[in-house]
Structure 1
Amino acid sequence: MNEPTIDPEKFFKTACYFESALILVALLLGWIADINPFEFIIFDEQAVMNGIIGTLPLCLIFIALNQLQLDSLDKIRQVLHTTLGPSLHKHHWTDLFILAAIAGVSEEILFRGVIQPWIENSWGMVVGILASSVIFGLVHAVTALYFVMATAVSIYLGLYLDYDGTRNLLTPIIIHGLYDFFAFVVILHSYRLALQKGK
């Protein structure tokens, strides 16, 4: 089995610190653009329900893609397996939930709370969603296909920002966090099965 490229012992703290730091980046960019990153985080039951329901299609697509035997998808699975598997294996599912929640909050505050509306202010909603999603995809581009997939997910999250005609950042935060948690659990399960087969 390949050696992990991330130190499993340091992964959780490093990932939490890195993701949390994105909030500081959002605050800095928001200050420059005169945008309050937290303005559209509105707590209500409908936003929570929209977030939960909005997560389901992404999870189903993740499962479907996980079953496809394509070289490009196998490469992504291998990268996730070797980089995240050993690190996730060291932690309880509650740790994975905390990390996913931090990622959901921080990345959405940055990309949907600042970058998307910043671009929208000059170029309109469509360009705002597309441009911020391309940036999101580039940040997550471990492979060319993964860039395309991350960009598509970001467009989906950008559309959910204004779901029901009401801008609420809480909905994409919930979708992002729950989806990341689901992905972490699937990757961890796959890694542990591989370990059992390797014994």
Structure 2
Amino acid sequence: MPPPSTDGRPNFLTLAYAFEGGLVGVAYALGWIAGITPFSDFRFDGSAVSHGILGTLPLLLLFFWTYQLPHPELTKIRRFLLDSLAPQLAACRVHQLLALAALAGLGEEALFRGVLQPWAEAHWGWGAGLMLSNVLFGLLHCVTPLYGLLALFTGIYLGVMLDIGEERNLLTPMVVHGLYDFVAFWIVIQSYRAEQSQRNRR
């Protein structure tokens, strides 16, 4: 484990890596109980990567739009990101942000799209599987009620991306998730640095 530092970065990264990577272990544990292998629908395929890259664009456009809106609940989310998350992210190097985003895509997709969605589908059908797995996805991200709702719709989108292409491939939502998180991290960091710069000039 890295030693503590004054900026808190190693501890933040250690906890973040452990949490996101630990979701892979949770996925395998739940998959073992349910008789599902989390990565059974994972195949490295160029078209899946392409679908993932293109599929990230609508989510990023939504993020850009909501990030600028002056709605009070969206302002509360933005303030949370800038006050709680941005100082930790801003202390990270680019490769650390890439690793964190990739781990989030790997761990969360293995659990929610690799195990929970197919398990729920097997019991109640595709639509119910999509909804039930992503209600849980929204609850995991429920920093505020609106944030949880946005995460629910994001999860549904990722669940649909699972079936984009000729056959189901977990790689597609993993690419979408990881790339989206990395760009979102970068935008939040730039907003934080701009805000800090304005404060320092006063």
Return the TM-score normalized by structure 2: 0.94
In structure 1, the partner of 2:23 is 22
What's the RMSD between the two structures over aligned residues? 1.1
Q: What is the CA-CA distance between 1:82 and the residue it aligns to?
A: 1.0
Given that residues 41 and 114 in structure 2 are in contact (C-alpha distance below 8 angstroms), is that contact kept between their aligned partners in structure 1?
yes
**Alignment correspondent of 1:139:** 140
Which SS does the other structure have where 1:163 is aligned? coil
Residue 101, structure 1, aligned to residue 102, structure 2: yes
Deviations 1:35-83 (A, max 9, x none): 0101111111110000000001101110111111110000000111111
CA distance, structure 2, for counterparts of residue 176 and residue 14 of structure 1: 19
Q: Does structure 1 retain, via aligned residues, the 8 Å contact 2:27–2:111? A: yes
Structure 1 residues 8-41: Cα deviation after superposition (integer angstroms, max 9, x where no partner):
4411111001110101100000000000101111
Does the CA-based 8 Å contact 1:9-1:87 persist in structure 2?
no
What secondary structure, in the 3-state scheme, does the structure 2 residue paired with 1:100 have? helix
Over 3 Å off, 4+ runs: 6-9
Quick one: distance in 1 between partners of 2:102 and 2:45? 18
**Distance in structure 2 (CA, Å) of the matches to 1:159 and 1:98:** 25
Q: How does 1:73-92 map to 2 (within 5 A)?
A: 73-92=74-93
Contact 2:106 2:174 in 1 (8 A): yes
> What count of residue pairs does the alignment treat as equivalent?
194
**Counterpart of 2:165?**
164
Deviations, residues 123-178 of structure 1 (Å, cap 9, x unaligned)? 00100000001000000000010011000000000001111341100000000000
**Number of the residue aligned with 1:185:** 186
Amino acid at match of 1:132: S
List gaps (5 residues or longer) in structure 2: 1-6
| Counterpart residue number, 1:3 | none
For 1:33, the equivalent position in structure 2 comes to 34
TM-score where L is the length of structure 1: 0.95
Q: d(CA) in 2 for partners of 1:171 and 1:180? A: 14
CA distance in 2, matches of 1:191, 1:135: 30
Identity %: 47
Distance 1:147 1:165 in 2: 31
